[in-house]
Structure 1
């Protein structure tokens, strides 16, 4: 080979080496064009409706975040929502979580999975995968297991009960001139419902001077509410705590109470969770039967969310914004904030950022603080009390976020 040939070959090798080095350097410094976040919610079966509304909230948030410039710390990388159906059983939820971590290995965080029972099962999987999981689910057990990758954005069920009961007692006393003395409980056996009534059964009612005269637990969906309502009629409590998670169960009990002459405020009814305030309930039950019913929820569209409520209505024809939409919307912004803080699309770094967060998009959560304690619970998380008034469930507490004054149904 001639000297010229050697030089040409040497020049080509050098150029190739420089090209490889340059490509490697570019790859090391490159930022992702999109960052995947997961949404694990029921989109089939008994709980498909609330899961669909959670998807609406997540889609709106991702669109808003991307339109505002994406993740600025990652050179404007856009969020990409990866949606998985958790189904309507704990086994399906766990299987969906396993598919999520196996197939979507580049997820940086996720949110879900509606029912506390589903979230308890799913987070067993996400914890092992070190995938940070935000949840609006209420059960205290979710963050009582020593996990490091679970972040609960709603007030826990026990906390909500302790916050709500003194408020309800005062509302009743101010409106009627006397304190309630007896109470009945009808609850389904899902995780959040059981967790909500647990402190009541274990001393909270007694602390407030309330006698528990009826305590019934059922498995959803109900086929017949008659036996439950007959017990309500025979005990005639001053208050009824009714905790369904399925709209059809709420409908059956409220209609049966009206049939037995107990509806329309004759026995003030208080719920926990959103099943009794879902828009779909109006398709099968009249607003008159719902008038005055209170429910305590982790979050709700409140004063200051008017633009979001309007967009949800225009885009998805939703008449109001429930916890499922507003909380999931907020969760996406929390993940966005964690990514900005982490500075890289890495799930462990995002989890570290969540643990040290002390600000964030707090306007989407009652209590106004996005900070998590060592268990993963949001610090000083407040709850929202919603009341049916003239065919619409409106926020009546806390006062700073309320859009209407509460009233106590006349017996």
Structure 2
């Protein structure tokens, strides 16, 4: 799986155990930096937690099939000076930019469990990490010791995403049990409200800049909902609809609505890209205000199911794929129809100033494809890579088996309580 993140003039690309940072220049061109990943330390302070003993027992039973190294989540800080990433080996790594092309890994911390999201506060150097067990930990960059972080939110449901307000005034987490919890920050034990209404797991969250600042959520129930984080009131609901594809089972299409996998918002806050689970398309939604809500002007067809999507500061849309071409770039057309179109690198490029995005796109696509060829298994064009199907709750109808067992018990009880017949001696022959 390939992750891509964009902020200011920086593009971060993460795949398997490699991380690259691209910095575009105002006059054209770019700098490419391979982020150094420090070696894992032997000390793990999170071993004192009761949960780690259970996880270690599970991991020891999986020695025959080791999990490939990869990154589970990553993000820039609001100022884009820091970049954070968490590996599937439960390591939090934070890089700091000291100057053009100079990024240094400043801290490495161990987290309790595999993480689903990492964020950084805008008002202080604090990193928040949410893990899949339902806990959120805070890590202060000034701490010199690996204390395992401070627990600020504890939930019984599996957390799937997390966002923090622009002014660090609230923290919102979504879970598998259809809920969004909005807590005051930093005192997260004070729950402000719950955003209730989804009927399936809530996979992704994003913030619509204000004023007022709004919360947008995507779910496995096939809806994208807009909320007021102050009151938890639902402001708008958008139903995601997709055309039935060839080969889809009729029952499966009718029983399960399209699951929203990721939401990425344009810097201007008017266009949002939406990824649907197991769908080789990128849905583009346009925000029309509180009265009209979201509309769907266009869908972008891609060769296979996308891994990730992000907007850069030029409002260009980057899409990472697991089959060639490994990266596709889209831009908003200046035509009267205002459609989005794919940008392709020409066979012969006379100068970088002619198409400033072309050399960067070529390098990013080539780098990602080389990583796939060297360290990743091939992925089929319509493969279910990273499917969300395991998040659906399974319902079992055991009424028939229960009635059958009950019938057998009654028959056995009746046979046991019936009076035994005495064996009669045969009459003697006369």
Pairwise TM-score range, normalised by the shorter structure: under 0.3
With the length of structure 1 as denominator, give the TM-score of the two structures. 0.25
The structure whose residues are more often strand, as a share, is: 2
Structure whose CA Rg is larger: 2
The structure whose residues are more often helix, as a share, is: 1
